[in-house]
Chains A and B, each alone.
Chain A
Amino acid sequence: RFFPNVSSIPPGFVPNATAPAWDSFKKFAGCRAGENFDGLSKLKQYFHYFGYIPNSPSNFTDDFDDAFESALKTYQQNFNLNVTGELDQQTLNKLVQPRCGNADIVNGTTTMNSGKWMAFNSTSLFHTVGH
């Protein structure tokens, strides 16, 4: 599927109609913690693939659990989204975008924004003195 030049593509040309990967995630709009949503395990697998859920159980459940919420917040932080912990429209729009297959978080150490946040919170960058 190589197109040597955009101008060479005839108007109205439609390649083999295949639903883009991750399009099904759009149905999760409005999902909130503590609830169960059919197919949410696919989104957990997505987060696991890109390093946001480090431990892989044999089967992900469809529960919007704490691990998923934590992964979602880290993702929102990394992509400069509002950190709501909810599957809001802005987050879903980003999740379904095509992307590089390399993980954002590798072995918990390569972490984009969230790593800076963790460093900020876990090291003694600031010292306080009581007066």
Chain B
Amino acid sequence: YTFFPGNPHWPDSKRDLTYSFFPGNELTEEEKSVFARAFDRWSTVIPMTFTQTDSFTTADIRIGFFSGDHGDGEPFDGVLGTLAHAFSPPSGRLHLDLDENWVDSGDVSTSPILSAVDLESVAVHEIGHLLGLGHSSVEEAIMYPSIPSRTRKVELAQDDIDGIQQLYGKNPNYNGTSTSSIQERETSGADYVH
């Protein structure tokens, strides 16, 4: 695992963060729930909570889907290529490429769309950046930079857990085992292979 230069992280006074969605995207509750699951994966292992709020301007974390040049100097590039980006703490900005073919649920590997991208997989990765993690060379890690289309990878690897716990400590309720129980519960009926 790696950190951003200077190891930026949320201060001790900010352990209960709020997040909100760009109103212009008009996301459905189902689409928003994907992010709730993604946040849960991180809060399982560190003593932080994430709560959705309707106030986009005052939220600690602001999530939006944008196309092409969206004003932050990091334009998106259409289908595939760069999928999303997020800023280091305490910026709280998470941007996803509106031009991707995002799949919210189900077994994305069976999608007839070759360029289908699993939204939760990307969300879990970008939240890692929001919390202060950089990219990892461990291919199993969530913080590995690339992910093929039609691939689902949402489970934190030990490398991710070690990195994030170095920044924030361990969630006292975390028993040190894999976070796979979350995934098994939330994808019941699907046939994912890990």
Question: Which A residues contact B (CB, under 8 angstroms)?
Answer: 1-7, 9-15, 18-22, 50, 78-80, 94, 97-102, 104, 106-107, 109-113, 115
Beyond A5-B104, A21-B82, 13 additional contacts (C-beta under 8 Å) are: A1-B98, A3-B103, A3-B104, A4-B28, A15-B115, A21-B81, A80-B137, A98-B83, A100-B83, A101-B74, A110-B2, A112-B136, A113-B137
Q: Are A98 and B85 in contact (CB under 8 A)?
A: no
Q: Are A101 and B104 in contact (CB under 8 A)?
A: no
If A97-B147, A101-B82, A102-B135 touch, whether A2 touches B3 (CB-CB below 8 Å) is no
If A5-B104, A79-B137, A106-B134 touch, whether A18 touches B2 (CB-CB below 8 Å) is no
User: Size band of the B side of the interface?
Assistant: 35 or more
**Nearest-Cβ distance from residue B72 to partner chain A, whole angstroms:** 10
B182 within 8 A of A: no
**Nearest-Cβ distance from residue A5 to partner chain B, whole angstroms:** 5
Q: Are A11 and B129 in contact (CB under 8 A)?
A: no
A82 to B65, CA, bound (A): 36
Question: Which B residues contact A (CB, under 8 angstroms)?
Answer: 2-5, 28, 30-31, 74, 76-86, 98-108, 110-113, 115-117, 122, 125-126, 129, 134-137, 139, 145-149
Q: Are A99 and B82 in contact (CB under 8 A)?
A: yes
A78 to B84, CA, bound (A): 20
Contacts of B111 in A (CB 8 A): 3, 6, 9
Most buried by B among A2, A15, A104, A111: A2
Please, could you name 8 A-B residue pairs with CB atoms under 8 Å apart, sorted by A?
A4-B28, A21-B80, A22-B80, A79-B137, A101-B74, A101-B85, A102-B85, A107-B5
